Amino acid sequence: MNTTRRSLLKSTGAFGILLAAGVITAKQAFAATDPRAGFDAKTLSEALATLGGTAVDSKDIAITTPDIAENGAVVPVSVNSSIPNTQEIYIFVEKNPNPLAAVFMIPADTESQVQTRLKMGQSTHVVVVVKANGKLFTASKETKVTLGGCGG
């Protein structure tokens, strides 16, 4: 039995125990076992559903993007979460063909600030979801694109 198979069996078994004990829901267990599912989603609502819960608005998430991006092929995005115990940061681009653009796993006791460059085909909202203490929090910011990045 190779390492990948062993890891899969361990994580599936652990989620099964948590599910049976009622600690997590079936939707949360499924989302946690396949982290790539969000990247296959074609709409923002489908992508958000893969996170396994409902996010609440938070003013503790700061999103920095240009108000007007001259080139949608390379739009700088930075996210700073001041929510204690931030574990994961998800960045979605609402009108992209695949809305989930990036996922960052934040190690314990580290500053929860990430930066990346994203491709945006048109003016849209950048939606950020932060997972902290098993709960989901969200914030969004609109960015206008003058030159499309997805083939435009």
| Predicted structure pTM score | 0.74
50 and 19 both lie in a single domain: no
> Is 12 within the bounds of a domain?
yes
The pLDDT of residue 34: 56
137 and 67 both lie in a single domain: yes
The pLDDT of residue 44: 84
28 and 48 both lie in a single domain: no
Instruction: Answer whether residue 23 shows pLDDT above 60.
Output: no
56 and 26 both lie in a single domain: no
State pLDDT tens for residues 37-66.
778 878 888 888 888 888 999 999 999 999
61: its two tokens:
């998430």
16 and 64 both lie in a single domain: no
pLDDT, mean of residues 25-38: 57
122 and 59 both lie in a single domain: yes
> Is 151 within the bounds of a domain?
no
2 and 42 both lie in a single domain: no
CATH value at residue 133:
2.60.40.2470
55 and 103 both lie in a single domain: yes
> Is 66 within the bounds of a domain?
yes
Structural domain including 8 reads 1-33
Cα–Cα distance for residue pair 59/130, rounded to 1 Å? 12
> Is 93 within the bounds of a domain?
yes
Answer with the residue of higher pLDDT: 16 or 102. 102
Distance between start and end Cα atoms, the chain: 47
57 and 96 both lie in a single domain: yes
Number of domains in the chain: 2
73 and 128 both lie in a single domain: yes
* 10 contacts: CB under 8 Å, gap ≥ 6: none
Answer with the residue of higher pLDDT: 70 or 147. 70
State pLDDT tens for residues 75-123.
999 999 999 999 999 999 999 999 999 999 999 888 999 999 999 989 9
> Is 126 within the bounds of a domain?
yes
Helix (H, G, I), strand (E, B) or coil at 111: coil
DSSP state of 56: E
144: its two tokens:
């206008």
